[in-house]
């Protein structure tokens, strides 16, 4: 149904071989590809093995009946189109079959023209349904594209892909796995729903081999058991796996699971997941490239900050100390990972504005004149100017800019007070003050830890935020106990 040249596939089931032969010939002459089965059991196996657009089955057969076959096929594929052939005597049963999901019935003996009319009509209905599904898929992809194109964050993109996959293929669980750069193994990056335990659910090496032969791997029953981990085996009844391909390589895989008491995945769901995987692979590749670029840029700036600091023998190690103390205090305060990452970067970069200040002033051993002090103070402004145009450092800028504010409003550059000062900057004031007090200077030795803590507590509520001081002191006590 993908194109005008598509050949419809029909499975003809009748215990009378003459009928399957005649029907096969007629349908073939009319442009359909047919397969025949002499009983329902063989037909079920053929249906599991192959994809058919239409099933035409006799109602009365030895063993499983046409109604049994209808039920079995509908449980495998609720969208299946099944046409029942029956004699006049069982017309009520045929009507019953319609209620159970058969598309139509044909009374035996039938004229070839009548049969072709029913088959053509069924095929046309399926073509329209397929177009409708295609439209829905395109809409889902459009929504996905809009969402991922507005983000270059890999985590955000993966989360959108997993949630879209759960919905579009009606899965109970979806996981996305990646090959880390330089690794041959896949590891899970994200999972949502059921049948996806802590570890990668499937034998990824085997799946990768299977990808080489086909675009998607669809498994159920015994073949599924050979590939799943014990925990997934307990839960999953069907699995659909598609590669995230870039060029000739595989970046990762997108796996969808359905619980054991549910139906297998349908061809249209297989196609939807495959298209989703294709779209996701392109977005993921962009995000990875952007992330590499971002990391390289971040490392360059950090190296610059550390190189600047290395010029000054007395503050050597200051940024690294402040970073470590800020990070530990933020963790003690229960801050989230994103915040901790931000304050870590701010710690390394907080004095980067000093790059614009003469070494003569920076390293002056004696007292600074008020003009020199104003120049030193300008490093917060300069730091902001250096960093504010770098989009991925936008959360770092307020911490760098305000790290010399004071809780009571007597600091600089804006004279902010209390909660007006960003939390990261309030934490940094404590860490920065502590490190300044405990480090040696040309004109004095650093204070011992206990004296520095006493001094922090003395300034708590005036110069420093009491909550940050309390967390800092608690964090130090814990570290000393280790």
Indicate the residue among 309 and 351 with the shorter CB distance to Fe ion. Answer: 351
Least separation, in Å, of the C-beta of 379 and Fe ion?
6
User: What whole-number distance in Å separates Cα of residue 225 and Cα of residue 415?
Assistant: 66
Residue with tokens 């997108």: 254
Indicate the residue among 48 and 441 with the shorter CB distance to Fe ion. Answer: 441
Indicate the residue among 14 and 351 with the shorter CB distance to Fe ion. Answer: 351
Nearest by Cα to 9 from 78, 81, 102: 81
User: What whole-number distance in Å separates Cα of residue 23 and Cα of residue 35?
Assistant: 10
| Chain position whose Cβ is nearest to Fe ion | 351
Contacts with Fe ion, 253-282, as mask; x by CB under 5 A? ------------------------------
User: What whole-number distance in Å separates Cα of residue 162 and Cα of residue 269?
Assistant: 14
Least separation, in Å, of the C-beta of 429 and Fe ion?
10
SS3 letters across 153-166: CHHHHHHHHHHHHH
Indicate the residue among 237 and 353 with the shorter CB distance to Fe ion. Answer: 353
Judged by CB under 5 A, the stretch of 22-30, 350-358, 438-446, 474-482 that binds Fe ion is 350-358
User: What whole-number distance in Å separates Cα of residue 438 and Cα of residue 445?
Assistant: 8
Indicate the residue among 378 and 417 with the shorter CB distance to Fe ion. Answer: 378
Residue with tokens 């008020």: 370
Least separation, in Å, of the C-beta of 243 and Fe ion?
50
Task: Examine residue 351 and tell whether it contacts Fe ion (CB under 5 A).
Answer: yes
**Distance, C-alpha 133 to centroid of its chain:** 24
Least separation, in Å, of the C-beta of 389 and Fe ion?
21
Q: What angle do CA 129, 125, 86 make, to 5 degrees?
A: 130
Indicate the residue among 327 and 351 with the shorter CB distance to Fe ion. Answer: 351
Least separation, in Å, of the C-beta of 378 and Fe ion?
11
Least separation, in Å, of the C-beta of 403 and Fe ion?
6
Q: Determine the size of the site formed for Fe ion (CB under 5 A).
A: 1
Burial tier of 18 (Cβ tally within 10 Å: 0-12, 13-18, 19+): exposed
Indicate the residue among 168 and 351 with the shorter CB distance to Fe ion. Answer: 351
User: What whole-number distance in Å separates Cα of residue 474 and Cα of residue 278?
Assistant: 50
Indicate the residue among 279 and 406 with the shorter CB distance to Fe ion. Answer: 406
Nearest by Cα to 293 from 371, 205, 390, 363: 390
CA torsion angle 254 260 266 267 (round to 10): 50
Burial tier of 379 (Cβ tally within 10 Å: 0-12, 13-18, 19+): buried
Judged by CB under 5 A, the stretch of 31-39, 289-297, 344-352, 382-390 that binds Fe ion is 344-352
Find all residues with CB under 8 Å of 261, minimum gap 6, and list them: 237
User: What whole-number distance in Å separates Cα of residue 328 and Cα of residue 171?
Assistant: 41
Find all residues with CB under 8 Å of 426, minimum gap 6, and list them: 405, 407, 464, 465, 468
Least separation, in Å, of the C-beta of 462 and Fe ion?
19
Judged by CB under 5 A, the stretch of 28-36, 108-116, 179-187, 346-354 that binds Fe ion is 346-354
Least separation, in Å, of the C-beta of 351 and Fe ion?
5
Indicate the residue among 128 and 310 with the shorter CB distance to Fe ion. Answer: 310
Indicate the residue among 11 and 322 with the shorter CB distance to Fe ion. Answer: 322
Least separation, in Å, of the C-beta of 308 and Fe ion?
12
Residue with tokens 């980067």: 352
Judged by CB under 5 A, the stretch of 181-189, 289-297, 334-342, 348-356 that binds Fe ion is 348-356
Least separation, in Å, of the C-beta of 402 and Fe ion?
11
Judged by CB under 5 A, the stretch of 36-44, 261-269, 275-283, 343-351 that binds Fe ion is 343-351
Judged by CB under 5 A, the stretch of 176-184, 255-263, 349-357, 423-431 that binds Fe ion is 349-357
Judged by CB under 5 A, the stretch of 279-287, 345-353, 381-389, 412-420 that binds Fe ion is 345-353
- Residue numbers at the binding site for Fe ion (CB under 5 A): 351
């Amino acid at each position: 149904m993908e194109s005008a040249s598509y050949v419809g596939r029909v499975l003809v089931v009748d215990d009378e071989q003459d009928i399957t032969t005649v029907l096969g010939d007629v349908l073939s002459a009319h442009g359909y590809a047919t397969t025949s089965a002499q009983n329902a059991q063989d037909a079920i196996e053929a249906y599991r093995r192959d994809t058919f657009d239409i099933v035409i089955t006799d109602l009365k057969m030895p063993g499983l009946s046409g109604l049994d076959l209808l039920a079995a096929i509908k449980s495998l594929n609720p969208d299946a189109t099944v046409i029942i052939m029956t004699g006049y005597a069982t017309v009520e049963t045929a009507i019953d079959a319609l209620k159970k999901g058969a598309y139509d019935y044909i009374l035996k003996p039938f004229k070839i023209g009548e049969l072709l009319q029913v088959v053509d009509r069924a095929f046309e209905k399926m073509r329209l349904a397929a177009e409708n599904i295609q439209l829905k898929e395109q809409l889902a992809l459009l929504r996905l594209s809009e969402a991922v194109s507005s983000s270059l964050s890999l985590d955000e993109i993966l989360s959108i892909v997993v949630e879209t996959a759960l919905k579009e293929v009606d899965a109970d669980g979806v996981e996305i796995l990646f090959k880390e750069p330089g690794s041959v193994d896949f590891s899970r990056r994200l999972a949502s729903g059921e049948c996806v335990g802590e570890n990668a659910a499937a034998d990824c090496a085997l799946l990768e081999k299977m990808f080489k032969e086909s675009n998607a791997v669809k498994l159920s029953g015994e073949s599924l058991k050979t590939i799943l981990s014990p925990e997934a085996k307990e839960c999953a009844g069907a699995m659909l796996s598609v590669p995230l391909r870039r060029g000739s390589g595989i970046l990762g895989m997108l796996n969808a699971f359905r619980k054991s008491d549910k139906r297998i995945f349908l061809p249209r769901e297989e196609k939807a997941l495959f298209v989703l995987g294709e779209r996701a692979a392109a977005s993921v590749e962009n995000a990875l490239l952007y992330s590499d670029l971002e990391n390289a840029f971040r490392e360059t700036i950090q190296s610059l900050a550390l190189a600047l600091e290395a010029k000054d023998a007395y503050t050597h190690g200051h940024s690294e100390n402040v970073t470590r103390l800020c990070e530990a205090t933020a963790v003690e305060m229960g801050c989230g990972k994103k915040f901790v990452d931000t304050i870590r970067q701010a710690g390394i970069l907080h004095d980067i504005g000093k790059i614009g200040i003469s070494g003569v002033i920076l390293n002056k051993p004696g007292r600074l004149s008020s003009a020199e002090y104003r120049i030193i103070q300008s490093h917060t402004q300069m730091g902001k100017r250096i960093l504010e145009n770098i989009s991925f450092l936008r959360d770092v800028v307020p911490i760098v800019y305000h790290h010399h504010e004071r809780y009571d409003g007597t600091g600089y550059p804006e004279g902010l007070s209390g909660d007006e000062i960003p939390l990261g900057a309030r934490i940094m004031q404590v860490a920065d003050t502590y490190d300044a007090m405990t480090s040696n200077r040309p004109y004095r030795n650093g204070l011992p830890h206990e004296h520095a803590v006493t001094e922090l507590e003395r300034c708590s509520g005036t110069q420093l935020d009491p909550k940050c001081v309390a967390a800092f002191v608690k964090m130090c006590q814990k570290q000393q106990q280790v």
